[in-house]
Structure 1
Amino acid sequence: MNQHSPNSNSSSLQPLLKESTHRFLTEHQNGATDFSNFTSIFSRLLHSLPDPPLEIVWFYSALNFHSTKSTDTSRQVLPVKDLFQLLVSCSSSCNAVKKIAILAPVIHELFSEVSGKKDLREETESLIEGIICYVSINHANNFDEHEESGDLVSCYRELVRVWMVDKIGGDCKFGEDVRLFCPVVSDGVREGMVSEGFGVGYLAGVVTCEAFLLRLCLKFGCGVSRVELEKELLDCAVQMISAFRSYYFVDILLRMLLEPVLPVNAILG
């Protein structure tokens, strides 16, 4: 799971990112709601980089998401759809592995919206279908999960705190934030991420596995017979597994299947 030195773009931008995340968390804690100054700076930065680091894309998209998220409960899936489109746009020049890994916030937000909310299933299912299609296309497009080097752990916690500032505030133990941000994978997988470190390729495997499980979970509760459901689940699983050409995806999925409980009860319940 360990990977080697980060790319030069990411390394040179780390001081700016660290200072910006600290200022954002401080200002948010003090009640600020206008972060247009951050958004403007990082928008220009993204447009100037031919291959923007994942960390920069995440921070910029988090700022946009917090600024535009609606309090209207009938429109909760729409901001997640907009987030998906924003991340796809921001990573258009990136390689296939990074394009998938960058979607981690989308899976996190989608899980939060669908958990225990059957009235949002139809909208959510349509969005997850789009995500699965996008992930499959990138797996087929010169996918090399070892192409992206660099350990994300050093910046991961700060970025997760930015993403979940409305849910956990500015303080959360490392490990707990990983659990909250990657809700669909098991404790064993998350503990490995914390203890061993991980890079963009491994995160892409986590995102792929989470999307896979979410898609299957949304098949439940559709009112079909058990026989029909089993056939649909099998066909859907085989189709996705055939499309996902990732060692990390298979490794993560098999390790999760060896555990006594899958972390999807909130959806199935």
Structure 2
Amino acid sequence: MASTLTAPKSPNLPHLIGKNYEISLKQSIEALLTSPENSNSGNTTNFISEFQEFVQSKADPPLESIWIYTALAFTRSSTPNTEPFSRISAIKDLFQLIVSCSASCNSIKSIALAAPVIYSLHNFILDVKSFQLGSKKERKVNGEIKSLVDTVLGYISVCCNSFDGNFDESEGLIRPLGDLVSFWLVDNGVRNQNVESVRAFFPLLSDDIVTRVSAEGCGIVELAGFVVTEAFLLKLCWRIREEGFGEKMQNELRSWVVGSMTGLRSSYFYGTLVLMLLEPVLPITSLLNLEHEAGLRKVLLDAFILVEYSFLTPQSLVQLPVKHAKRVVFTKLVATHQAIELFRKHGDQSKAIYYLKAFANSSLPSLIVNWIRSEIGTETSISEPTGSSPGAFIRWMLNIENRGIKIFDNDMSKFRTAFNSKEESEQLVYGEEKKKPEPDIPFYIDKKGQENYTDDEDEKMSAAFMDAAHSMQAGRKRRTKDGEKRKHVKFVKHNVFNHSSLGGERSADPRNDHSDSGSDVENPSSDEDMEI
């Protein structure tokens, strides 16, 4: 089907220069927000013509101009249709329109503008079962969905080449995110601009993130991080829906996630998804059942916590805005602690120890200590953490906060309250024992606790997980109090580099037809990118 959506052609607009452009754009957005949607077709056509001018009058137009123009053009051209192939064809047209309108924009803005495509794709996936297709048509529709998901993610991976650089973090939105979302959500002819609208438009973001950005707003770079996260989760969930979630698939996805993170190299994407892992349930239950959600959570924890990515080293983090770098570091610390508690709760002590080792051998502990010391200054004396676990570091940081020195941001307040409540309840149960300094975690697995752990089970561990465990203290021995040596569980080396490209099969970059969109992810630049 030929696309009915086209990018506007450049008119002669001498009146839209400098301040006149900004004033006119803000006035047009305000007028559109206060007018009922589609109250009369002539009025809508006039608005489309206005925003065409805004898109074409600048080489790098504001995000809002493209966002609103594509929303108006897409809404006018599309009609309610229960035919699945027409609907997915319309989503493809929308994607091509957004790509063509943002061709001259920077990479971050191009990624952020893809948000409506993810929203439309998610809704379409939910509606597929209601079409009551035969098996042959359903396979064809599923193939179309897979192809489009891969294409969108491939496009994003190309744009991510300079995600953590060459952008202005202070570049914000002219209007709140709720206003922009309202152009894609129309209810009874009236535009809604509330938290529920943002939640509906970003179905794969957590409630905490939606609530925060609805209240505080967000910049374009943070919005782009949300889009990458949603596209990433959409790909994972679609593969699980289509191929199941057996042990082999879990291993494949774990390696794919590690390879994708290495290629995307985005701390904003990383920080968004790790923040979502702090929530009790990932916001993917619209696509997966709770059992698969729990399994995918563990896959993501392995790939995000056990691997120390080069774009998150201290040398890389200092290049980022301080507030963002701080949030990423502290979120990873809390996520590591919660992962250890999760595995302990489910009786998986060996994996809890792997995570403790990963934390102790990473750059995170020294980074946190150095950062806090630099923040409070040399005049204030502070003690060292009383243990080497994430929980010991969190307890140490909270004790510093109790002295009136702010460490955590407001978005960590819920976790801080929960952590303190747990500490208080454990002190009531264990009494004075909890007041003793936490001992260093022994870097061995007790033979008694592993008497049912076999070589076969060892070999079934994931590639990234086992490689991390092997590299951390492999072959190291500790003596017990009576001088006897503990034996280590046998670790089997696996290759974590054998991962697939980001988009599955190679997919075309819509900016440049027939380009290889997955190359950045398929071939990490060096072994340093996979440092454990």
Q: What's the TM-score once normalised by structure 2's chain length? A: 0.45
Match of 1:157 in 2: 178
Maintained 8 Å contact 1:97/1:144: no
4+ residue runs of structure 1 moved beyond 6 angstroms?
7-10
Deviation at 1:62, TM superposition (A): 0.5
Counterpart selection for 2:274 from 247, 254, 265: 254
RMSD of Structure 2 on Structure 1 (CA): 2.5
Maintained 8 Å contact 1:33/1:67: no
User: What are the residue-to-residue correspondences of 1:19-168 with 2, within 5 Å?
Assistant: 19-23=31-35, 26-28=36-38, 30=39, 32=41, 35-70=44-79, 71-74=81-84, 75-115=86-126, 117=128, 119=138, 120-141=141-162, 144=165, 146-152=167-173, 154-165=175-186, 167=187
Maintained 8 Å contact 1:208/1:249: yes
Deviation at 1:177, TM superposition (A): 1.0
Q: Percent same amino acid at aligned positions? A: 35
Higher percent of residues as helix:
1
Structure 1 residues 168-177 or 248-257, which shifts more?
Answer: 168-177
Maintained 8 Å contact 1:52/1:94: yes
Q: Distance in 2 between matches of 1:10 and 1:265?
A: 43
Maintained 8 Å contact 1:97/1:145: no
Maintained 8 Å contact 1:98/1:148: no
The amino acid across from 1:42 in the alignment is F
Maintained 8 Å contact 2:182/2:193: no
Q: 1:45 aligns to what SS in structure 2?
A: helix
Q: Distance in 1 between matches of 2:262 and 2:232?
A: 12
Match of 2:425 in 1: none
Question: Relative CO higher for 1 or 2, CA cutoff 8 Å, sep ≥ 6?
Answer: 1
Maintained 8 Å contact 2:157/2:264: yes
Maintained 8 Å contact 1:46/1:57: yes
The amino acid across from 1:48 in the alignment is S
Change in CA separation of 1:252 and 1:19 when aligned onto 2, cut-off 3 Å: same
1:266 aligns with 2:266: no
Q: Distance in 2 between matches of 1:106 and 1:145?
A: 25
Maintained 8 Å contact 1:116/1:267: no
* Matched residues, number: 259
Q: Distance in 1 between matches of 2:171 and 2:278?
A: 29
The amino acid across from 2:70 in the alignment is S
Deviation at 1:61, TM superposition (A): 0.1
Q: 2:72 aligns to what SS in structure 1?
A: helix
Query: Who wins on radius of gyration, i.e. which is larger?
Result: 2
Deviation at 1:128, TM superposition (A): 1.2
Match of 1:232 in 2: 252
Deviation at 1:251, TM superposition (A): 0.9
Gaps of 5+ in 1: 1-6
Change in CA separation of 1:10 and 1:45 when aligned onto 2, cut-off 3 Å: closer
The amino acid across from 1:162 in the alignment is F
Q: Distance in 2 between matches of 1:182 and 1:128?
A: 16
Structure 1 residues 155-164 or 52-61, which shifts more?
Answer: 155-164
Match of 1:14 in 2: 26
Q: What's the TM-score once normalised by structure 1's chain length? A: 0.86
Match of 1:182 in 2: 202
Deviation at 1:144, TM superposition (A): 2.7
Maintained 8 Å contact 2:108/2:163: no
Q: Distance in 2 between matches of 1:9 and 1:138?
A: 31
The amino acid across from 2:54 in the alignment is L
Change in CA separation of 1:228 and 1:99 when aligned onto 2, cut-off 3 Å: same
Gaps of 5+ in 2: 1-17, 130-137, 290-532
Match of 2:224 in 1: 204
